[in-house]
Structure 1
């Protein structure tokens, strides 16, 4: 547990700094880009989202799943080496295909994209598979310090270059140049790290397990893209770029709900299969997931009430309308992350078809409601469509996961805490001015913590597992 605390602290520091960089760049981007340009940038970045899925090929998820089957670190290194080699091979093939078929690919986008912009987008995503495998391996290895250094160096470099190019008048293309440069630099560093730590193998002894597991997961990830970014493509045909810009700003802040769970995710997700297989693993998993759900709830409250304040402080008045969407987008992300915490049973099968079917159903519902609600209601219609689809997806995820892993979650007590938090958050959002909304969070968040303690929702911690200096400070003997 001491190692887990140390790793989580590293991830927390990294996420705080990364989000701070993102918040600094929000006023920079909105100052140098008009709302129409910012809306166009949102649509282009959604291409990065879907392109990254193809380049990653779901290999990071498969690596986390199958490393848990090996008993020694040498065997685990061999698994990672093969996944790294496949990621590198996929990158080369897809870059060649992307360059050869750039014209028909750009024709699929709802925004007109120049050849140079497309090549920059391709450069920004071409090493996503290698990066995903490497970052997952770092988390499995507990190399949180290296993970932190590599992530922060990319973010700082990208932010500095992006700001410089915006000041020089490069506009949207400047942001794309910065993204591509930072991604290529981090990808090169990751290949060096992987080569030294576990090697990069092109032997592919596990190609069959990769194909069976990764194929459905890739389709599942594409379905998740529909639930995450595809609404921008539909919105582009029915609303103005300025409306998409407001939605984009609200989305950047609403996404903090998921981001605030990431330190927990980074520690828990690569290890969850190993923990579940241990003695008393189901009960321990329930304890840890309860903590994750409480973090999601607290993140939703903080973002819903802090987001409108950030919009009014960090952006020009033209973007203040984004405040109206933040709480609903935060709720979307809270529902999404709830599903991710409950999904472990879906991944115990070795074919990956359970999450694929669930995500396909969610994506189908999302597409249906996007084309039904967006033409009539615009951005609110997109948010409502995603809420409906995500809610159905979470219910299905829990039902299927429970079949394969009957983990005794504390839903009744968690539901009580959630109901109180949601009601108080809605009351604060509707009655307080954006500049004082954070005061509501100051009251609600401690209440969530108090209820969690009283209802015994926090994981039990053995004092003997804490570092000795902390035990002495807390007088735990």
Structure 2
């Protein structure tokens, strides 16, 4: 049995390669694309955000809920049912995209060609089909296989981007690379998926699966209104050049979520099963707080280092992102905490509680964007996001504890926040006297100091397999 630490390492490499290609290549890509081109690309990528939510249809959440506790023939039938539902949704969505293509082209904030919509649609349509076998690998602790598939996809995608950008394809290079790499990954995953389905097709569990998953679709559409509509409003009200700066800051803030992925890839498929164990509530509370503290630590580390990195490695046209990124990293930490401290909202057979919370928060976000962005530009989006995610955290925590009270140890995250705030204050005193390289080095040293301190006061466990609070399964 692979240790939890080793699995996390594989998951970390796999997910960072899968989702981090755009981050790794950002200095190169921004040197080849103008802010106008990059902002135009970002406005197109927003289509994938909303498309992935709808086409995914919440089926991964049903996979967590129903496949996790099942075994034998029922497990194979549930897996088959989930995959076939995803296939049906993808086919229906393909037809709808074909019908709506003229409408999409007429309403996007930038002029695009029909083939560019098709290219961006390919990975979106395949996302649900790809996510199911990758999720099953996580549920079965196949971390090494998960890592290999994602590394191959990422390397292939990066090579195609470089070749086509050097050939002068502009934003088409990124669109072609994304489409081709998704097709390649699905091709390799199909054999594994067919084996999990035991070579059968089954749709008998569709009603309970859809009953559980549809509220997630509605909820996540509300989440898109929070984390996607800001960019559309920015593109419409202040232009794609400004959107490009905001998008760069958002991508660097995404590092926080990427760093959390090794923990998240273990936690989300296993939390319901863990809850059903002896002392399950204590285990879940301990691990949820651990994840929250990790998110705070990563956020502080990024705030201390990322602004200097942006100044050093990105063209001057993007340097405003160094200021914006601090606020967006804090937003990422708030989102991480609200995602982890809400287990009670997912513990029953209905997911409607979180759906209503998401829609309330989305309404607040939409109102904030439309009222404030025209006047305050990028900073309005940052402050609206921070306010909305604070409300989301409070509501998720309250209703989750009402449905399923968990014994969280709040002194741990309070210690993380206080230590992080103190280190940030120190950085603001000493950074002005340092050059950018020195700021980056000192930021890394302060981050390491925070980690050592948190381990010494036992907020974090010692980094050895025997001290970890969770098992490999």
TM range (shorter): over 0.9
Could you say which residue in structure 2 is the equivalent of 1:61? Answer: 61
Could you say which residue in structure 1 is the equivalent of 2:26? Answer: 26
Residues 322-357 of structure 1 show CA distances to partners (whole Å, capped at 9, x for unaligned) of 101111110011100111111211111212101101
Q: CA distance change for structure 1 residues 250 and 183 in 2, over 3 Å: closer, same or farther? A: same
CA displacement at 1:201 relative to structure 2: 5.0
Could you say which residue in structure 1 is the equivalent of 2:47? Answer: 47
CA displacement at 1:189 relative to structure 2: 2.1
CA displacement at 1:292 relative to structure 2: 0.9
Q: 2:439 aligns with which of 434, 437, 441?
A: 437
CA displacement at 1:290 relative to structure 2: 2.2
**Residue correspondences, number:** 465
Deviates more, 1:354-363 or 1:107-116: 107-116
CA displacement at 1:15 relative to structure 2: 4.0
Q: Is the 8 A contact 1:84 1:200 kept in 2?
A: no
Could you say which residue in structure 1 is the equivalent of 2:378? Answer: 379
Q: Given the two structures, how large is their TM-score scaled by the length of structure 1?
A: 0.92
Q: Given the two structures, how large is their TM-score scaled by the length of structure 2?
A: 0.93
Q: Is the 8 A contact 1:2 1:465 kept in 2?
A: no
Supply the distance in 2 between the matched residues of 1:134 and 1:204 (Cα, whole angstroms).
Answer: 17
Could you say which residue in structure 2 is the equivalent of 1:7? Answer: 7
Q: Is the 8 A contact 2:5 2:465 kept in 1?
A: no
Supply the distance in 2 between the matched residues of 1:168 and 1:277 (Cα, whole angstroms).
Answer: 55
Matched, 1:222 2:221: yes
Q: Is the 8 A contact 2:33 2:170 kept in 1?
A: yes
Supply the distance in 1 between the matched residues of 2:80 and 2:425 (Cα, whole angstroms).
Answer: 49
CA displacement at 1:192 relative to structure 2: 2.5
Could you say which residue in structure 2 is the equivalent of 1:247? Answer: 246
SS state of the match for residue 279, structure 1? coil
CA displacement at 1:66 relative to structure 2: 1.1
SS state of the match for residue 380, structure 2? helix
SS state of the match for residue 294, structure 1? helix
Q: Is the 8 A contact 1:238 1:374 kept in 2?
A: yes
Q: CA distance change for structure 1 residues 135 and 298 in 2, over 3 Å: closer, same or farther? A: same
CA displacement at 1:445 relative to structure 2: 4.0
Supply the distance in 2 between the matched residues of 1:200 and 1:261 (Cα, whole angstroms).
Answer: 35
Q: Is the 8 A contact 2:3 2:465 kept in 1?
A: no
Supply the distance in 1 between the matched residues of 2:2 and 2:164 (Cα, whole angstroms).
Answer: 43
Supply the distance in 2 between the matched residues of 1:73 and 1:119 (Cα, whole angstroms).
Answer: 40
Deviates more, 1:373-382 or 1:3-12: 3-12
Q: CA distance change for structure 1 residues 364 and 354 in 2, over 3 Å: closer, same or farther? A: same
CA displacement at 1:446 relative to structure 2: 2.6
Could you say which residue in structure 2 is the equivalent of 1:470? Answer: none
Deviates more, 1:192-201 or 1:264-273: 192-201
Could you say which residue in structure 2 is the equivalent of 1:159? Answer: 158
The correspondence of residues 189-228 of structure 1 with structure 2, limited to 5 A, is 189-199=188-198, 201-228=200-227
Supply the distance in 1 between the matched residues of 2:20 and 2:65 (Cα, whole angstroms).
Answer: 32
